[in-house]
Structure 1
Amino acid sequence: MTSFMEKQPGWSVTKSACGMETAFIADFTHNATDSTPVISYNAEYDALPGIGHACGHNLISVCSLTAAVATATAMIEFDIPGTVKIFGTPAEEYGGGKIKFIDAGAYEGCDVSLIGHGSYGQTHASARTTAIKNFNVEFFGREAHAAASPWEGINALDAMNIMYASVAALRQQLMPSDIVQCCVNQGGTVPNIITGYTSAAFAVRAPTLGRMNELYDKISNCVKAGALATGCKFKISILDTYANHIPNQVLAARFRDNMIRVFGEKMLSIDEDYRTGITGASTDQGNVSWVVPSLHPMFNVDNPYGAGPHTKDFAKAAGTREAHDSAVLTGMGLSVVGVELLLNPDLLAEVKAKFDDDINKAKGELTSSVNSIKSFADLEVTE
């Protein structure tokens, strides 16, 4: 991608951006001043272990590069002043590349952030995603001979079992939109040793950041229950936190209208689109949407194999010509939005006013400052 962008007229490319070897920033300016808009597009390209581009991030790159180059081409041809940026953001699945961009101040000065993601079914202009917290849980006990002197041990596997059973019991009292995912990574080695160490990986999701934090607190109590019942010590290590994506409805309406008017696409009404555009999945674009107005349409990837993202069959579908054509079409739709924002200061002002209103409402739902979502390297250790 960097080689491609370096060949485009007027573009400059910064590799290894924001402290990440595989990140990049590509910039284009045309008669820009301090007051002209800055349109940014996010490109993703990380794959899933063992199954490749089963989330279609290759298509996100196609979409964003198409959008950015098309926007820049229009700026040259019609002498439209402004700036376009592509942020090459790695590690969306795990690691939060966009969060590192936020922490480095990359989005400061950007007026909007646009990105498109392949999925299946109806194209949605205003996709909403869940907030997620990924964290590891460890129990520390004491090994002993399981037959000769088990009373000398402190069983970390028992702590894990109690925690897991507590989480299972908790599910009856959870909301339908709450999601708790867990896998046990280490549960012991051999049966004749009292297990001294166990570990598990968790992901908790909810439609809003505030509800997700409540859910995390509930799971933390289950961890504490396992430790208290067995005498183990425990450690909770927070890996990352992705905020729920807040789609800017002004941007969504422009994208929808342009896809119909310019490209002849069939789209839902903006109200129905928002109502049905929620997904249980999560993305670090959610964090971006809390610091700059964001648009994250989900476009259809025709899948003859009949499976959705995070499957081998979807990886096959994401490699087809039809999927790439859909990504290009969505990128062109995003570019029209970008050009409109460059040309229409009133539209951009409306976008920003909607953003301010949305974020103020979202802040009101949180018990702590919105700035807390920017601290993603925190490590909670409790004994």
Structure 2
Amino acid sequence: MSKDDIHERIEARRTDLVSLTRELWEHPELALQETKSAELLATTLSEEGFEVDRGVGGMPTAFVATYGDEGPTVGILGEYDALPGLSQKPVSHREPVAAGEPGHGCGHNLFGVGSLGAAVAVKEAIESGDLSGTVRYYGCPAEETLVGKVYMARAGAFDDLDAAITWHPSHVSAPWKGRSLAMNSIEYTFEGQSAHAAQSPESGRSALDAVELMNTGVEFMREHVPEDARIHYSITDGGGAPNVVPAEASVWYFVRAPTRDTVERITEWVDDVAEGAALMSQTTAERRFLTGCYDYLANDTISDVLLSNMRDLGAIEYSEADREFAAELQSTLAAETIESRLADLPDDEREAAAERSLHARPMASFDEGTVMKGSTDVADVSWITPVAQFWAASWPVGTPAHTWQAVAANGDFAAKSAVYAAKVLAGTAYDLLADPSILERAAEELESTRSQEYESPLPQTAEPPTDIEVS
């Protein structure tokens, strides 16, 4: 079976793959609540002959599907969690399916299915005897909360991989070679003493005072941390009625920086501030580590193979009707939003993209040497095994992720990008298994790039948090 045969197999499944993307889109589920989504994908892979291991990393919605038992092992990562409050019909104006409900604003309904289509196609090539090796599909929940792959990594799920490949919907198509920010996510809960706030305030010790003191202390930290670090917080429990001194209050922090070591150093300082706030308010502080992740290390060796496969396939074949709907969605975006999204592109690509509602042709990486101001749990996998990923043009030019416009596209024409992604990933996996020397070079590159062996950022006592939502 040649690579062209693999592409033809995927094309023959186009209707089924698009149907899967729509089924996930119609039943969006939040992080660690993706019961139906995970079961749909896991069952589909099981029926295709994969051996499925469920409940990986202590998460019921995490699974690993494997086919093959010898030779190199290539993993294909899939995601399927949605975002809170982004319910949206596939129309060009804001209209939720159900107000306040989740929606697929990051395209994980496409992501999970595109990766599945690739895994099945590679399995068929192995089954036919034309490829030697093992293919794995990783059902990764809770990417939006940066939980899934981190807990799977702690469980050793990626330890024996020779490489992992993946993708993500976006507004353009290109390999992703930029770094990302490492991150810690921690909740601090203060315990004080309740009292009548007017009658006997001297009897109370306000946990909310502790939260506010902590936040003030962190604000004074900002001028003394690196400029490329980020510290964000949200008061998740600030007490109840004003006439009751709050006995309990909580604040949730993200600490981000370009390196894991810097995140750890800043986190230690934030911990000290929390203890200081507790001392000043005569309360006690409890620290709950929710999750943490590394910075992403793109593997150039495999990224170049991805780009070669993207260029062989050419542009995603969107129809005129797709472009018209995309233009309608694009018209609802602010001009400065589109300009901001286009600013990172090379001049020639920026000019070409600015003239289109959909810019579907593949381009070379435009983010190499940069650090994006966000985090991803794919990063942890990239410190364990060589990883490459790419963006696929799924949304109108200039569309940011986590918007209702992205949700509308993800439930409509963007399904075509999932089929395209399946072909790119399958072709890349084919190349890696057919030519193990690529994997050898990729491993050498990783060894020379990473500054240390991977150690999980999670305390051994940390458990997957089922009560957090991140958008």
**TM-score interval for Structure 1 and Structure 2 normalised by the shorter chain:** 0.7 to 0.9
Q: What does residue 48 of structure 1 align with?
A: 83
CA 22–116 in structure 1, closer or farther in 2 if over 3 Å, else same: same
Q: What does residue 344 of structure 1 align with?
A: 435
Q: What is the distance in 2 between the residues matched to 1:338 and 1:100?
A: 25
Q: What is the distance in 2 between the residues matched to 1:260 and 1:273?
A: 18
Determine what percentage of the aligned residue pairs are the same residue: 30
Q: What is the distance in 2 between the residues matched to 1:377 and 1:296?
A: 31
Matched, 1:145 2:196: yes
The RMSD of aligned alpha carbons is 2.4
**Partner residue of 2:137 out of 70, 81, 86:** 86
* CA distances 1:297-322 after superposition (whole Å, capped 9, x unpaired): 23232237x6422233322222222x
Q: What does residue 299 of structure 1 align with?
A: 392
Q: What does residue 6 of structure 1 align with?
A: 46
Q: What is the distance in 2 between the residues matched to 1:82 and 1:138?
A: 49
Q: What does residue 266 of structure 1 align with?
A: 362
Q: What is the distance in 2 between the residues matched to 1:89 and 1:372?
A: 17
* CA distances 1:321-358 after superposition (whole Å, capped 9, x unpaired): 2x222232223222222111111122111011011112
Q: What does residue 61 of structure 2 align with?
A: 22
SS of residue matched to 1:236: strand
* CA distances 1:30-78 after superposition (whole Å, capped 9, x unpaired): xx53xx1111111111112232211211121122112212323344557
Q: What does residue 332 of structure 2 align with?
A: none
Residue 80 of structure 1, CA deviation: 1.5
Q: What does residue 366 of structure 1 align with?
A: none
Q: What does residue 406 of structure 2 align with?
A: 314
Counterpart amino acid of residue 248 in structure 1: N
Q: What is the distance in 1 between the residues matched to 2:83 and 2:388?
A: 24
* CA distances 1:116-166 after superposition (whole Å, capped 9, x unpaired): 111234533324322111111111222222222222222222221111122
Matched, 1:373 2:457: yes
CA 195–373 in structure 1, closer or farther in 2 if over 3 Å, else same: closer
Q: What is the distance in 1 between the residues matched to 2:430 and 2:243?
A: 68
Matched, 1:166 2:217: yes
Q: What does residue 355 of structure 1 align with?
A: 446
Residue 256 of structure 1, CA deviation: 1.6
Matched, 1:285 2:378: yes
TM-score normalised over the length of structure 2: 0.71
Q: What is the distance in 2 between the residues matched to 1:298 and 1:175?
A: 29
Counterpart amino acid of residue 45 in structure 1: Y
* CA distances 1:260-285 after superposition (whole Å, capped 9, x unpaired): 244364312x5x44124x32222222
* CA distances 1:102-128 after superposition (whole Å, capped 9, x unpaired): 233322322111111112345333243
CA 128–17 in structure 1, closer or farther in 2 if over 3 Å, else same: same
Q: What is the distance in 1 between the residues matched to 2:457 and 2:222?
A: 26
Contact kept, 8 Å, 1:205 with 1:212, in 2: the verdict is: yes
Q: What is the distance in 2 between the residues matched to 1:58 and 1:376?
A: 31
Q: What does residue 217 of structure 1 align with?
A: 268
* CA distances 1:81-116 after superposition (whole Å, capped 9, x unpaired): 111111112222237222332233322322111111
Q: What is the distance in 1 between the residues matched to 2:444 and 2:165?
A: 17
Contact kept, 8 Å, 2:150 with 2:291, in 1: the verdict is: no
Contact kept, 8 Å, 1:18 with 1:101, in 2: the verdict is: yes
Contact kept, 8 Å, 2:175 with 2:306, in 1: the verdict is: no
Q: What does residue 5 of structure 2 align with?
A: none
Q: What is the distance in 2 between the residues matched to 1:235 and 1:319?
A: 42
CA 17–232 in structure 1, closer or farther in 2 if over 3 Å, else same: closer
Q: What is the distance in 2 between the residues matched to 1:137 and 1:58?
A: 33
Q: What is the distance in 2 between the residues matched to 1:19 and 1:87?
A: 15
Q: What does residue 97 of structure 2 align with?
A: none
CA 332–185 in structure 1, closer or farther in 2 if over 3 Å, else same: same
Q: What is the distance in 1 between the residues matched to 2:313 and 2:245?
A: 67
CA 150–18 in structure 1, closer or farther in 2 if over 3 Å, else same: closer
Contact kept, 8 Å, 2:114 with 2:419, in 1: the verdict is: yes
**What stretches of structure 1 of length at least 5 have no aligned partner?**
364-368
Matches within 5 A, 1:114-193: 114-121=165-172, 123-193=174-244
Contact kept, 8 Å, 2:146 with 2:293, in 1: the verdict is: no
CA 215–147 in structure 1, closer or farther in 2 if over 3 Å, else same: same
Query: Which stretch of the first structure deviates more once superposed, 221-230 or 195-204?
Result: 221-230
**What stretches of structure 2 of length at least 5 have no aligned partner?**
1-40, 87-102, 316-360, 464-471
Q: What is the distance in 2 between the residues matched to 1:261 and 1:86?
A: 24
Counterpart amino acid of residue 311 in structure 1: T
SS of residue matched to 2:457: helix
